[in-house]
Amino acid sequence: MLIEELSRDGKSGLRLTFEDRGPGIPDVNRAMTDGYTTAGSMGLGLGGTRRLVNEFEIKSTVGVGTTVTVVQWKRR
């Protein structure tokens, strides 16, 4: 995980980058769907995160890994 401080137009924020070298995600759209899980869990981690942050990006390659990047700007 990488934490970066951001400053843009007088606003401050954080960019968090979560990178793994796991199995990757074959169908990112399906993985983003609320309730979809292959882990027997709630299937809400990705979708819930997307709704909670200002910017959300996911890149995944099967057999290589997954990177999720979020940006949140401080409220003022």
Q: Is 46 in the site for ligand ATP (CB under 6 A)?
A: yes
Near ligand ATP by CB under 6 A: residue from 19, 20, 55, 57: 20
Contact yes or no for 22/65 (Cβ under 8 A): yes
Near ligand ATP by CB under 6 A: residue from 2, 6, 19, 38: 38
Q: With 0-12 CB in 10 A as exposed, 13-18 as middle and 19+ as buried, what is 21?
A: exposed
Q: Is 45 in the site for Mg ion (CB under 5 A)?
A: yes
The residues binding Mg ion (CB under 5 A) are 45
